[in-house]
Each structure stands twice: as C-alpha cells, then as structure tokens.
C-alpha cells in the first residue's frame, strides 16, 4: 500500500510518500512544494494543486493522508492553509484516491503514544520508524512523512470495511476496492 502524506500550506507544502508491506514501512520519496510569496494567491493554490496532482500520478498512492486544520491565532494563515487543504483534497478526489484526515494530536499519539508530544519527539520517532539516517528538512517534509506513518498505523488501516457517505444518501457499508479495480 502506498500512502501520500501531506502537510498543507500555500507557501510550503510538505509531501511524504511511504509504502506499507505487512508491518514494514519504507520511505518512497519526499519533497516540498514552494510557491513564490509575490505571486497572487490563486496562482499559489494552482501550484499546490498541480504539484499534488503530479505526485499522485507519479506515485499512484492508495491513500492521501492530509493534516487537519488546527486552531490558529492567525486567521489569515488558517484561511490560507484551509484553502490549500481544499485544493489538495480536490486533487485526490479527482484522481479517485481515498482521502484520510489526521489532526496534529492524532499524529503525535500514533507516533509517540502521547498526544501532547513535542515536535522533536515526533520527528525522532518518524526517523526511527522509517529507518532514516537523518530527519528530513524542512519541518513541513518531516511532518508530511509523520502524517503518512500515522495513517499507516491508524486503526482504520486494519479494518476491511469502511464507511462511505455520499451526498443526499444514507450511509452504506462497502468493501474497499483493491488497486486493480480502480
């Protein structure tokens, strides 16, 4: 299973791709999407959308794991990150890839066992779990890998049945499709 973890943002958006085989996790690739702060905001969102779309086409993930928006004192930053999340989720949706969302606390809990762990603890565990020699830089990239690891270790991954809710329909239980059925 291939998981694309994303730490959303318009200035910097971290991407981390991992593969899960049984209980083993390996790093496939990671990188950073950066957009010029002098460009108009819609153009910056287009850069994020295009690069996420390109990454999905290249790596063919089974799941895109995106960090949930958390409370921010800076409303402008929160709005910008929310818009980036929107174009990221649109890219995944248009590609037909399942989307999972994780809060920063979910990530901390999954990687360290403590929901209030500090960033350094999360980064050290990400490095150890993935067998990396050093923590990827900048933090956005390391965070994206941590989000992917969180997704791989979540209880949702262990289940065979998932809940699907479609607009204007009641919930129904369906079995997930394997990659050959997409």
Is 140 considered catalytic here?
yes
Active-site option among 7, 19, 51, 143? 7
Q: What is the mean pLDDT of residues 18-39?
A: 95
SS3 8: coil
Domain coordinates of the chain in residue numbers? Answer: 2-181
Active-site option among 51, 67, 106, 143? 67
Report the chain's mean pLDDT, rounded to a whole number.
85
At 108, give phi and psi (nearest 5°): -60, -45
Cα 43 to Cα 22, 40, 48, 129, 138: the distances in Å are: 40, 5, 9, 36, 23
Per CATH, the architecture of 2-181 is what? 2-Layer Sandwich (3.30)
Is 143 considered catalytic here?
no
Active-site option among 19, 51, 106, 140? 140
The tens digit of pLDDT for each residue in 48-97 reads: 999 999 999 999 999 999 999 876 667 778 888 999 999 999 999 999 99
pTM of the model: 0.83
More confident residue, 166 or 19: 19
Is 67 considered catalytic here?
yes
């Amino acid at each position: 299973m291939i998981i694309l973890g994303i730490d959303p943002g318009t200035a910097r958006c971290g991407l981390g791709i991992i593969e899960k085989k049984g209980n083993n996790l390996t790093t496939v690739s990671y990188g950073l999407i950066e957009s010029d702060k002098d460009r108009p905001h819609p153009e910056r969102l287009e850069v994020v959308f295009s690069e996420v779309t390109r990454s999905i086409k290249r790596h063919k993930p089974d799941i895109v794991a995106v960090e949930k928006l958390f409370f921010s004192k800076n409303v402008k930053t929160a709005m910008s990150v929310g818009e980036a999340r929107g174009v990221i989720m649109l890219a995944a949706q248009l590609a037909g890839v399942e989307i999972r969302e994780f809060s920063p606390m979910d990530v901390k809990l999954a990687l360290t066992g403590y929901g209030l762990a500090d960033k350094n603890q999360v980064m050290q565990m990400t490095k150890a779990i993935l067998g990396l020699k050093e923590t990827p830089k900048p933090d956005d990239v390391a965070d994206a890998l941590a989000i992917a690891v969180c997704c791989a270790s979540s209880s949702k991954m262990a289940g065979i049945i998932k809940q699907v809710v479609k607009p204007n329909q009641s919930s129904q239980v369906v079995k997930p499709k394997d990659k050959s059925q997409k």
